Amino acid sequence: MNTGFRGYWSLSWLGLFANVIALPFIAYVLSSGAPLRIANLSIAISLAWPSAIVGIVASSGLLAERRWGVILSIVSTSMVIAAAFPYGIIRLLLEGDLFGLSGLCLLIAILNLLALIYWVLPVHRRNIRL
């Protein structure tokens, strides 16, 4: 595979580390006495933990230079955007903590949007082994 495309390896490793770190962070948010406890639980079970697990598998596939790693990274980043962006907006509107958890969720959503734009580039689907 021609992985000379800029940022492939660094984003693959960054995705692996970020998704591994996300698992205990999600558990910490659930264990805190947040006022949106039911929303935290539903988002964590339905999207946050599954997207982190898919992200770990995707990063492993990317590091093994497999085509399904690119596809799973697109799926994982889309799941994170689907969870973090609306959750961050609702928390921002209800609690107004731009520099707290809502700001962090919005930042995560924006970074994942940039990662999604990177992984959908056609160069990642051309020269990858199956």
| Domain residue ranges in the chain | 8-124
- For residue 62, the number of C-alpha atoms closer than 13 Å in the C-beta half-sphere is 26
pLDDT reported for residue 107: 94
CB count in 10 Å sphere of residue 126: 11
Which of 12-16, 30-34, 40-44, 59-63 is predicted least confidently?
30-34
List the beta bridge partners of residue 129.
66
User: What six digits make up the tokens of 98?
Assistant: 């731009």
Render pLDDT for 42-78 as a digit per residue (tens, 0 to 9): 888 888 899 999 999 999 999 998 889 989 999 999 9
CB count in 10 Å sphere of residue 87: 23
Backbone angles phi, psi at 6, to 5 degrees: -60, 125
Q: Which residues contact 47 (CB under 8 A, 6 or more apart)?
A: 79, 80, 82, 83
Confidence band of 130 (pLDDT split at 50, 70, 90): very low
pLDDT reported for residue 91: 83
Q: What is the pTM of this model?
A: 0.83
Mean pLDDT rounded to a whole number for the chain = 85
Task: Report which of 78, 75, 43 is spatially closest to residue 58, judged by C-alpha positions.
Answer: 75
